[in-house]
Amino acid sequence: MARYTCSFILAVPIGSLQQGIIEVLESCNFDIVYNTPDNIMAREIPGKVSYAKLARAEVLIERATATEKEVRINVVVKNEELPLQVENHCHQMFDRVHQGILEYRHWQLVESVVG
């Protein structure tokens, strides 16, 4: 199973964070399947790759450590394919989500850690 993770600290009011995350995921060809105040789960819209390559994204919002102006989120993008090549489909989808979060205009990036 391919799995890629990253963590961000974003300068954004916590009240507008969730809508922004949803917009980023939808712009990256994901469909939201689960949405709570602490967690957003999405799956890649089928049609372009085989079922095993379809990516899933999970975003954990760390509300316990959030301040009025900053929030930490953890992002995981994974699928069922074995990561036999560095540039596999899951990694490409991870790059899309990562770049989407970095470039989203309604918040400011404070810190980003890819791991």
Contact 109, 10 (CB under 8 A): yes
Is the distance from CB of 110 to CB of 11 less than 8 angstroms?
yes
Q: Where are the alpha helices (DSSP H) in the chain?
A: 14-27, 89-103
CA 43 to chain centre: 11
pLDDT at residue 86 in the model: 76
Indicate if the pLDDT at residue 95 is higher than 90: yes
104 DSSP 8-state letter: -
Give the tens place of pLDDT for each residue, 29-87: 999 999 999 999 999 999 888 888 999 999 999 999 999 889 999 999 999 988 888 78
Report the CATH superfamily, name and number, of domain 2-114: Kinase associated domain 1, KA1 (3.30.310.80)
Predicted confidence band of residue 115 (pLDDT cuts 50, 70, 90): confident
Contact present, 31 and 43 (Cβ < 8 Å): yes
